[in-house]
Amino acid sequence: MKKTLITAAIALASTAGITSQAHAADLTISCGAVGAELTLCQEGVAAWEEKTGHSVDVVSTPNSSTERLSLYQQILSANSSDIDVMQIDVVWPGLLANHLLDLREVLGDDAAAGHFDAIVTNNTIDDRLVAMPWFTDAGVLYYREDLLEKYGHTAPETWQEMTDIAREIKDAERTEGNNRMQGYVFQGRAYEGLTVNALEWVASFGGGTVVEADGEVSINNQHAAEALDLAASWIGDISPDGVLNYTEEEARGVFQGGNAVFMRNWPYAWALAQSDDSDVRGKVGVTQLPAGGENGQSAAGLGGWNLAVSRYSDNPELAADLVAFLTGEEEQKRRAIQSSYNPTIDALYQDEEVLEAVPFFGTLYETFVNAVARPSAPTGDAYGRVSNAFFSTSHDVLSGTKDGTQAVADLEAELARLKRRNW
């Protein structure tokens, strides 16, 4: 794993270097490539090139946030000037701040006016705005409207209800001949995506957020154990064994191919599920994630991506201008309408064209603004290790190596050790 990433880092860095020499590009930006991300990024960059006459190389990065972070850390710790603008995850500002430019210095104090305050605060480390909000994310439940109707159900409100409906419909559809039908697909691979899924289960059962805002490690509780045990019960029942290796795109592939009743994913999957070549076009509903047991509530994990300028950029002002353009209202509106990426500009949630393209940006507005954050703020630059410990433990429970009670006790001990040294 380590070797592959180092090789990837070198390959990425040197590709960028070689291309920029060959085309004498003024800037290099690294973008994600999940779903329509890369295309959208290339289109936005082309519009800026057209407007300014400058040229930009676009390089893509691995789909897994965990792998992307390792890559960035290697590039940045080498103080490399190869990448000027980086797409960074909402949980990374604290980890990467030292390598990033304070964008207010270049773009002015009002640089982030109109963007959600919570994201601006998240991206402000020691009074420095280290990244501009680009799109926000929250976990939502996709369901097959046609199948729920066929079997006389409405969208489930609790995980238990979801489990029962998923099993019933999966079994019935298999009997009718679709042997590949699954009940529920989600992100079960041991990576950042599982951290979000597991946090949603735990928080929805009232089990807290692993580490609380004040830095207390809270994971060792019965609600958390119960939530993880329920999720483990899905494997081999409503979810395929393969879900233990699914990221966002594997889950989307199964759902979009018409082979799952329910899916947990981010809003980007909507536009693709509704596209011309989708098997489930016109058959999909989107609602909030189910609540935990008694006294439970729906908990959507907060995600999202920002654009940052590397401190080692040779062209910081130009890079900041590109960031301002890409994160501006026009681009955010285009990305929302074309590919259902959530704006970070509040006013766009009242824009008629946006709401027509993605109705649930209106109906689930509260879900987006109240999404539950991963504990990146309280754990600071130890967040990567905290998340690793949490997704590994959750993966152990899903794969049956540990039960929930044992897992949360072990995790508490591990996090307490990290806390002593780090926060």
Cα separation values, 295 from 32, 47, 298, 342, Å? 38, 49, 10, 29
Residue 376 three-state SS:
helix
CB of 139 to ligand GLC, least distance (A): 9
Cα separation values, 158 from 20, 165, 261, 293, 398, Å? 52, 11, 15, 7, 19
Measured at the CA of 393, the angle between CA 390 and CA 394, to 5 degrees, comes to 85
Which range touches ligand GLC (CB under 6 A), out of 146-154, 233-241, 297-305, 363-371? 297-305
Q: Give the x-and-dash track for 171-200 against ligand GLC (CB under 6 A).
A: ---------------------xx--x----
Whose Cβ is closer to ligand GLC: residue 48's or residue 266's? 266
- 260/183 Cα distance (integer angstroms): 5
270 touching ligand GLC, by CB under 6 A: no
Burial category of 336 from C-beta neighbours within 10 Å (exposed 0-12, middle 13-18, buried 19 and up) = buried
CB of 89 to ligand GLC, least distance (A): 5
Residues 298-327 that bind ligand GLC (CB under 6 A): 303-305
Residue 326 contacts residue 180 (beta carbons within 8 Å): no
Whose Cβ is closer to ligand GLC: residue 124's or residue 306's? 306
62 touching ligand GLC, by CB under 6 A: no
Q: Give the x-and-dash track for 273-292 against ligand GLC (CB under 6 A).
A: --------------------
| Residue with the shortest CB distance to ligand GLC | 303
Whose Cβ is closer to ligand GLC: residue 310's or residue 344's? 344
Q: Which amino acid is at 213?
A: A
Whose Cβ is closer to ligand GLC: residue 226's or residue 248's? 248
- 346/49 Cα distance (integer angstroms): 27
Residues 76-95 that bind ligand GLC (CB under 6 A): 89-90
Cα separation values, 398 from 5, 138, 162, 170, Å? 26, 22, 18, 20
Whose Cβ is closer to ligand GLC: residue 93's or residue 304's? 304
- Contacts with ligand GLC by CB under 6 A lie at 65, 89-90, 137, 192-193, 196, 248, 266, 303-305
